[in-house]
């Protein structure tokens, strides 16, 4: 994705999603209560979806509604058929009957696991991996906890050692100290557990939250505690769910047997997500207000505002909002970011524009994040012509006049969002694999568009998207891939994005939720991809049914209809079983004839260009498109 810079400073107000850290903590604690809990304004992203899926696998009913999540401790089978899906960046809006409430299974009197087995995937969510690992130690059965490749390379040895001290029986299934692991026990013991405080605060948060279900537990911290604010957030969330922690100045923590309780929990806005827009304000001299932010929040990333203030920007705190009035001139700074390491990348990008040297301390933990972030920052700033030095715990950036570059994201959501900030000022900045933002902020590009993107691009702008429309079997997918390869552009399959967000194949989505729901989610996905530029987009056959979707796609792209006759479409689609029927016709040919009849006018009205594909090969279709455009 290529970022279009601001032409002048702007004054904008935007909403921000709920905090990922608070959402995942609330989900975890709600699963340990005995009654229904409603979480208001949660973040629904790949990270929180991973937590939800693991909780469901362990017997917790979770319903995702319109800006809320309901948690019923119990079993998924009590949910009505077809009501268990979640939608990625957009939450399901249909209501559901309330399931019968049951309690999460736990053994009470021994350490023997039953014969049931659970396979729990944290995907790429480090928070989910650490939290679920502790929860799985008090659930009966044999539990396998794993992640995808990137997460399986992040260490968990210190947490596993701590759980073993508490009586857990855990086996590594691969490299020692790393996921995946198998948990053979189902009870944790009271007593004192020792763990390093210098590796990950999430290890200690995991132990803190599980301790009240265990009994009298003391956590002794070896060395210094990093990321203290994240510990504060954990203790604060526990308190709101009715459990207290005695914090001995982060050297030790004491808990006693307590019950979690709660009816409703409201998630405040995410300072991590807000930080990128505050950085844009600082870099461009803009005034940006973020709503739904608690000025007195315990979130570690609130500290980024103090850093921006030291760099010469004005910060205004309101009741439920924060405004940054940017100076447009970045000052170099010497700062310790041990307590807010997720903001190091954003500050590094700003430091590239400073007239002087910025020194960032406390970066040791960056090596065990989604990627080796310290190395990633240095690599990408080098592409931008910025010199850096680093030690084990310090990053030095020699600011100056950065140039635009194509940024590798390393599968890391924060790399994409942090370096997108530079695109607000530099023409030609490109972010590779932009969809990695779905991990924590699925709507990031849409929110950025509210600030930095023009509403519509000139038809002769070479950065306009090429959007392929047409019936099933018209060749959209094949042609899109060839066209993207020919033009060296990004390629997106709308239906693939949709299936990934809902977490199931298209046919199953339609079977479970119906076509109306499918079209609603499709419309949401269209809004996401429409903010892209320089991209080849292959759409689903029915995207033209929604006039709003057509209008949205036209703002940033040229719509090309791949036209084909009924006979050609029948020949190309054959008897594919994974494509749901759209009508009540008995055979595929009659259905195609009926659907084409319904949509032909809509296709014609939507198309900027039409290519007849009956007698052309995919490569010839590509050549025709290039001739017309």
Of 603 and 370, more confident: 603
Do 418 and 349 contact (CB within 8 A), yes or no? yes
DSSP string, 12-81: EEEE-PBPHHHHHHHHHHHHTSSS-EEEES---SHHHHHHHHHHHHTTEEEEEETTEEEEEES-GGGSPT
For residues 467-472, average pLDDT? 95
Instruction: Please list, residue by residue across 173-203, b when 16 or more beta carbons sit within 10 angstroms of its beta carbon and e when fewer do.
Output: eeeeebbbbbbebbbbebeebebbbbbbbbb
Instruction: State whether 225 and 209 are in the same domain.
Output: yes
Question: Backbone phi, then psi, for 146, in 5-degree steps?
Answer: -140, 175
Give tens-digit pLDDT for 210-261: 999 999 999 999 999 988 999 999 999 999 999 999 999 999 999 999 999 9
pLDDT at 137: 97
Give tens-digit pLDDT for 357-412: 999 999 988 887 778 999 999 999 999 999 999 998 999 999 999 999 999 999 99
Instruction: State whether 431 and 336 are in the same domain.
Output: yes
CA distances from 384 to 47, 342, 423, 469, 612 (A): 30, 21, 12, 37, 44
Instruction: State whether 319 and 197 are in the same domain.
Output: no
pLDDT at 559: 95
pLDDT at 530: 79
Where is the domain boundary, 423, 439, 455? Answer: 439
Q: Which residues on adjacent β-strands are paired with residue 493? A: 538
Helix (H/G/I), strand (E/B), else coil: 321? strand
Give tens-digit pLDDT for 70-104: 998 653 333 333 333 333 333 333 333 333 333 45
Where is the domain boundary, 246, 266, 286? Answer: 266
**Would you say residue 106 has pLDDT above 80?**
no
pLDDT at 211: 98
- Give residues with Cβ within 8 angstroms of 328, minimum separation 6: 9, 282, 283, 284, 285
d(CA 231, CA 204): 8
Instruction: State whether 362 and 341 are in the same domain.
Output: yes
- On whether residue 110 sits in a domain, the answer given is yes
pLDDT at 254: 98
- On whether residue 257 sits in a domain, the answer given is yes
Please state the domain count of the chain. Answer: 3
- On whether residue 34 sits in a domain, the answer given is yes
d(CA 479, CA 564): 14
Give tens-digit pLDDT for 268-293: 999 999 999 999 999 999 999 999 99
> CA torsion 60→24→86→493, rounded to 10°?
-140
Instruction: State whether 278 and 190 are in the same domain.
Output: no
- On whether residue 453 sits in a domain, the answer given is no
Q: Which residue has the tokens 């989910």?
A: 128
Task: Give the CB-side neighbour count of residue 162, counting CA atoms within 13 A.
Answer: 30
Percent of the chain with pLDDT over 70: 89
What pTM was computed for the model? Answer: 0.73
pLDDT at 445: 86
Give tens-digit pLDDT for 439-455: 899 889 888 888 865 43
pLDDT at 582: 65
Instruction: State whether 257 and 290 are in the same domain.
Output: no
Instruction: State whether 231 and 327 are in the same domain.
Output: no
pLDDT at 458: 46
- On whether residue 446 sits in a domain, the answer given is no
Give the DSSP H/E element, type plus range, for residue 490.
Answer: strand 490-493
Instruction: State whether 379 and 478 are in the same domain.
Output: no
Assigned token pair, 259: 């019950």
Helix extents (H) in 169-286: 201-214, 228-240, 271-284
Which of 46-55, 280-289, 428-437, 542-551 reaches the highest mean pLDDT? 280-289
d(CA 626, CA 629): 5
- Give residues with Cβ within 8 angstroms of 123, minimum separation 6: 46, 49, 50, 147, 148, 151
Instruction: Please list, residue by residue across 406-429, b when 16 or more beta carbons sit within 10 angstroms of its beta carbon and e when fewer do.
Output: ebbbbbbbbbbbbbbbbbbbbeeb
Of 196 and 452, more confident: 196
For residues 459-484, average pLDDT? 87
**Would you say residue 24 has pLDDT above 50?**
yes
- On whether residue 457 sits in a domain, the answer given is no
Give tens-digit pLDDT for 515-558: 888 998 899 889 888 777 789 999 999 999 999 999 989 988 89
Instruction: State whether 479 and 615 are in the same domain.
Output: yes
pLDDT at 79: 33
- On whether residue 451 sits in a domain, the answer given is no
Instruction: State whether 126 and 257 are in the same domain.
Output: yes
> CA torsion 89→94→98→101, rounded to 10°?
-20
Where is the domain boundary, 250, 266, 282? Answer: 266
For residues 590-609, average pLDDT? 91
Residue 328 maps to which CATH number?
Answer: 3.65.10.10
Which of 193-197, 598-602, 614-618 reaches the highest mean pLDDT? 193-197
pLDDT, averaged across the chain: 88
Active site residues: 342
pLDDT at 40: 96
Instruction: State whether 70 and 168 are in the same domain.
Output: yes
- On whether residue 452 sits in a domain, the answer given is no
Percent of the chain with pLDDT over 90: 68
pLDDT at 555: 83
- Give residues with Cβ within 8 angstroms of 32, minimum separation 6: 73, 104, 135, 209, 213, 260
Instruction: State whether 505 and 418 are in the same domain.
Output: no
Domain of 177, in residue numbers: 20-266
pLDDT at 74: 52
For residues 315-336, average pLDDT? 96
């Amino acid at each position: 994705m290529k970022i279009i810079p601001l032409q002048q400073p702007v004054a904008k107000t935007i909403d921000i999603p709920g905090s990922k850290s608070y959402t995942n903590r609330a989900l975890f604690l709600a699963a340990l209560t005995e009654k229904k809990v409603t979480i208001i304004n949660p973040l629904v992203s790949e990270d929180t979806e991973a937590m939800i899926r693991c909780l469901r696998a362990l017997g917790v009913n979770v319903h995702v509604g319109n800006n809320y999540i309901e948690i019923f401790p119990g079993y998924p089978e009590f949910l009505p058929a077809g009501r268990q899906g979640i939608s990625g960046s957009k939450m399901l809006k249909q209501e559901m009957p309330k399931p019968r409430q049951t309690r999460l299974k736990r053994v009470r009197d021994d350490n023997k696991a039953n014969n049931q087995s659970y396979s729990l995937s944290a995907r790429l969510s480090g928070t989910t991996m650490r939290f679920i690992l502790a929860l799985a130690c008090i659930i009966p059965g044999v539990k396998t906890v794993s992640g995808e490749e990137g997460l399986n390379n992040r260490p968990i040895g210190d947490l596993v050692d701590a759980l073993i001290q508490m009586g857990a029986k855990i086996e590594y299934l691969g490299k020692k100290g790393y996921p995946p692991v198998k948990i053979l026990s189902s009870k944790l013991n009271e007593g004192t557990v020792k763990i390093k405080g210098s590796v990950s605060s999430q290890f200690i948060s995991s132990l803190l939250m599980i301790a009240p279900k265990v009994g009298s537990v003391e956590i002794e911290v070896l060395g210094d505690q990093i990321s203290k604010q994240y510990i504060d957030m954990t203790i604060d969330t526990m308190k709101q769910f009715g459990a207290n922690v005695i914090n001995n100045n982060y050297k030790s923590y004491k808990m006693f047997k307590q019950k979690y309780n709660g009816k409703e929990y409201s998630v405040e806005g995410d300072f991590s997500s807000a930080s990128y827009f505050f950085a844009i304000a600082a870099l461009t001299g803009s005034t940006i207000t973020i709503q739904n932010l608690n000025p007195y929040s315990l979130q570690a990333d609130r500290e980024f505002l103090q850093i921006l203030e030291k760099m010469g920007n004005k910060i205004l705190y309101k009741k439920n909002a924060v405004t940054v009035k940017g100076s447009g001139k970045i000052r170099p700074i010497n700062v310790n970011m041990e307590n807010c390491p997720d903001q190091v990348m954003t500050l590094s990008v700003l430091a590239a524009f400073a007239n002087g040297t910025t020194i960032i301390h406390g970066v040791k933990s960056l090596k065990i994040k989604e990627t080796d972030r310290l190395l990633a920052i240095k690599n990408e700033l080098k592409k931008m012509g910025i010199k850096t030095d680093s030690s084990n715990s310090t990053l030095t950036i020699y600011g100056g006049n950065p140039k635009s570059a194509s940024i590798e994201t390393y599968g890391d959501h924060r790399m994409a969002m942090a370096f997108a900030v530079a695109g607000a000022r530099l023409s030609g900045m490109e972010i590779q694999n932009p969809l990695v933002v779905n991990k924590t902020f699925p709507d990031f590009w849409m929110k950025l568009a509210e600030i930095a993107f023009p509403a519509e691009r000139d038809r002769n702008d070479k950065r306009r998207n090429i959007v392929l429309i047409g019936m099933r079997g018209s060749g959209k997918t094949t042609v899109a891939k060839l066209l993207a390869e020919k033009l060296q552009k990004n390629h997106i399959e709308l239906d693939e994005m949709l299936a990934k967000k809902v977490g199931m194949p298209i046919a199953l989505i339609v079977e479970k939720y119906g076509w109306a729901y499918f079209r609603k989610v499709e419309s949401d996905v269209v809004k996401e991809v429409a903010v892209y530029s320089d991209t080849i987009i292959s759409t689903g056959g029915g995207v033209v049914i929604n006039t709003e979707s057509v209008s949205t796609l036209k703002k940033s792209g040229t719509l090309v209809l791949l036209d084909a006759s009924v006979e050609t479409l029948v020949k190309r689609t054959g008897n594919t079983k994974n494509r749901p029927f759209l009508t009540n016709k008995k055979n595929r040919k009659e259905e195609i004839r009926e659907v084409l009849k319904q949509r032909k006018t809509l296709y014609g009205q939507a198309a900027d260009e039409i290519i007849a594909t009956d007698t052309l090969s995919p490569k010839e279709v590509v050549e025709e498109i290039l001739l017309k455009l």
